[in-house]
């Protein structure tokens, strides 16, 4: 399980697929033969964003997955599929984040910050491909209550952010805008 999910029951995310096993096999066969337009789930249905949002829905998310369905993110969708939670948070990997932080470049490669408050401009960081520095000042989803530093030297180190992705303690402030829900009975 990924960090933070160790106490969850499997059925907290995995729900039985509709139909009997026989119906699932029949529908799957029809799909493979081209007699059905959509594939079917066998045993358990595919875990989707809604399953993640049942516990992690955040109304103030800076990067909500639905936003990446906008036409301007078409190229990013082809490369990193940011519209799917599992693109960055693949479960059963034992880590918090399973994608490399360089993913920022897919949407922010042409970033220009008006009245840039940082002592090393964002334009310089982008030009020099210093993508690992992004999460030293910015929490990707914006869930941690924090003020971004104005000096790059005051940012959280890339090493600490990387260790957090792997499962270490959070380098971000403890206070959250929206903690994960725990009231679902199947956790």
Residue 130 phi/psi, 5° resolution? -90, 60
Q: What is the pLDDT of residues 129-162, one digit of tens each?
A: 999 899 999 999 999 999 999 999 999 999 999 9
Quote the pTM value. Answer: 0.81
Predicted local distance difference test score (pLDDT) of residue 184: 42
Predicted local distance difference test score (pLDDT) of residue 187: 37
Q: Give me the sign of the Cα torsion angle 109, 115, 118, 123.
A: positive
For 187, other C-beta atoms within 10 Å of its C-beta total: 15
Q: What is the pLDDT of residues 81-102, one digit of tens each?
A: 999 999 999 999 999 999 887 8
């Amino acid at each position: 399980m990924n960090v933070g999910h160790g106490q969850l029951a499997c059925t907290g995310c995995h729900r039985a697929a509709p139909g009997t096993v026989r119906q699932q096999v029949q529908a799957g066969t029809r799909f493979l033969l081209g007699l059905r337009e959509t594939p079917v789930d066998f045993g358990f249905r595919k875990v989707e964003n809604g399953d993640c949002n049942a516990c992690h829905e955040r109304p103030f998310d800076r990067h909500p997955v639905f936003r990446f369905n906008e036409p301007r993110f078409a190229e990013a969708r082809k490369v990193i599929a940011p519209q799917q939670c599992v693109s960055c948070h693949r479960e059963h990997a034992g880590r918090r984040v399973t994608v490399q932080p360089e993913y920022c470049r897919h949407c922010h490669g042409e970033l220009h910050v008006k009245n840039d408050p940082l002592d090393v401009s964002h334009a310089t960081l982008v030009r020099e491909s210093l993508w690992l520095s992004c999460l030293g000042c910015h929490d990707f989803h914006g869930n941690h209550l924090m003020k971004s530093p104005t000096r790059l030297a005051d940012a959280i180190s890339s090493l600490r952010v990387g260790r957090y992705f792997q499962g270490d303690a959070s380098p971000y402030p403890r206070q959250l805008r929206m903690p994960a829900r725990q009231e679902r009975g199947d956790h």
